[in-house]
Structure 1
Amino acid sequence: MTLEELHEVIKNCTRCPLHKTRRNAVPGEGDIKLGIMIVGEAPGASEDEVGRPFVGAAGQLLTKTLAELGIQRGDVYITNVVKCRPPGNRPPAREEAAACLPYLLKQISILKPKRVVALGAVSAKTLLGLVGKEVEKVGDVRGRCYPGKIAGVQLEICVTYHPAAVLRNPRLGEDFRRDIATFFKGGLDRYF
């Protein structure tokens, strides 16, 4: 299956009740030029409207942070654990994340990233859980990378705050920017 074929499957998914309230499923977008995949929690209202990940206020902060490092948004693949917006932007339920997990695993299998940047608790718990690491809260693991194998792909899972959390609590901004800079600049030269 190609990435484009997978995106079509995701757009037509009915695995959980979220398909009943979505406008658009949000499979993901971008390239894997840098060997990096960014994984958030779930689409918000703006993303649901246009069918693209991280286009609202949190996405603008992410795009700006990447641009400050000289990184084009299109050079990284951006997606979420859950591909449809939970009503009211509530956190996705465990069952919703479980229904979407095969899609995320297939994206990883197809793209073969060297590093996956987990934004926020849902992403961190999901991805680190796949390599046997329990996570209580993001603060316990943020700023660090953990090696593991997901969907047959050897990679690192690096954790930071979700940009929406930074917008709610600007004091997290410095750590978020430092983490992103470290994850994108630190250590990637060994892959290229």
Structure 2
Amino acid sequence: MTKKFLDQNMSYREELLNSIEPNFIFSDKPLNRFRIPKTENNQNKLDKNTKILELKKHINSIQNCNLKDNAKKLIFGDGNISSPIMIVGEAPGVEEEKTEKTFQGESGTLLEKMLKAINIEKNSIYSTYAINFRPPEDRKPTSREIKRYSVFLKEHISIIDPQIIILFGSTAMEAVISSNERISNERGKWKEIILNNKTYLLMITFSPSYLIRFPENKKFSWEDLKKIRQKILELKIKF
């Protein structure tokens, strides 16, 4: 793939990204950091915030959960609750526990670069996890744990009510579409899920933490990101 050279103001970002992934290409169009999120009436925002707080309390009150008992903090979600884009990661790690925010540390840095490569700022969208507590020793959640927390995740999605959902990793995939297939077979395809009688469009791709461990798969994630960008343009989604 031929690289597109950017102007001097953008070159430092290309250099930094290329140190991790040589296949991502930034757009030569400057990011609009002053985009105004889609308007939403105050009552609707109030209702969303109320429902989010209720769901958070509900998750924090669950009993007999090894994940909760061994974790330090609940990592719920953050970002723009009115965003048309919602991203779902697998589970929080040590950096997320420290900050109580999603996608921190090295994987968070990579995620931000991936999103910026298709002109999306992380703080303009909403992000959460399939599992809201850090698994012991950062192990993969069991299918039983994923199923238990999937109820909360699906309610979370219904509250945010996005136009597009991006699932990062096999745990998020299993939680939302109940698939145990290899993520390499499921990624890169537009799928639909119905929650509370509403259809949501979603895309599955590799998680940033996985890509750090297996950088040879970043070229596939770039293909997925391009499809997401194209769908945003087709649906005329604004941030």
The bucket for the TM-score relative to the shorter chain is: 0.7 to 0.9
2:210 to 133, 146, 165: 165
The 2-side partners of 1:172 and 1:145 are apart by: 19
Pairs aligned (count): 187
With over 3 angstroms needed to count, the CA separation of the structure-2 counterparts of 1:104 and 1:15, relative to structure 1, is: farther
Normalising by structure 2, we get a TM-score of 0.71
Q: 4+ residue stretches of structure 1 with deviation over 4 A?
A: none
Normalising by structure 1, we get a TM-score of 0.87
What residue in structure 2 maps to residue 60 of structure 1? 109
1:41-190 map, 5 Å: 41-129=90-178, 134-183=179-228, 185-188=229-232, 189-190=234-235
Q: CA deviation at 1:99?
A: 2.5
Identity %: 26
What SS does structure 2 have at the residue aligned with 1:2?
A: helix
The 2-side partners of 1:14 and 1:53 are apart by: 24
The 1-side partners of 2:147 and 2:122 are apart by: 27
Asked whether the equivalents of residues 46 and 56 of structure 1 are also in contact (C-alpha less than 8 Å), the reply is yes
1:70-104: CA deviation from partner (whole Å, max 9, x where unpaired) = 21111111111110010111001122222222221
Q: Which has the larger radius of gyration?
A: 2
Q: CA deviation at 1:55?
A: 0.7
Any stretches of 5+ residues in structure 1 without a counterpart? none
Asked whether the equivalents of residues 135 and 141 of structure 1 are also in contact (C-alpha less than 8 Å), the reply is no
The 2-side partners of 1:15 and 1:51 are apart by: 22
Letter in 2 for 1:186: Q
Q: CA deviation at 1:6?
A: 2.4
Tell me how large the CA RMSD over aligned residues is: 1.9
With over 3 angstroms needed to count, the CA separation of the structure-2 counterparts of 1:187 and 1:34, relative to structure 1, is: farther
The 2-side partners of 1:13 and 1:64 are apart by: 35
Mean CA deviation greater in 61-70 or 1-10: 1-10
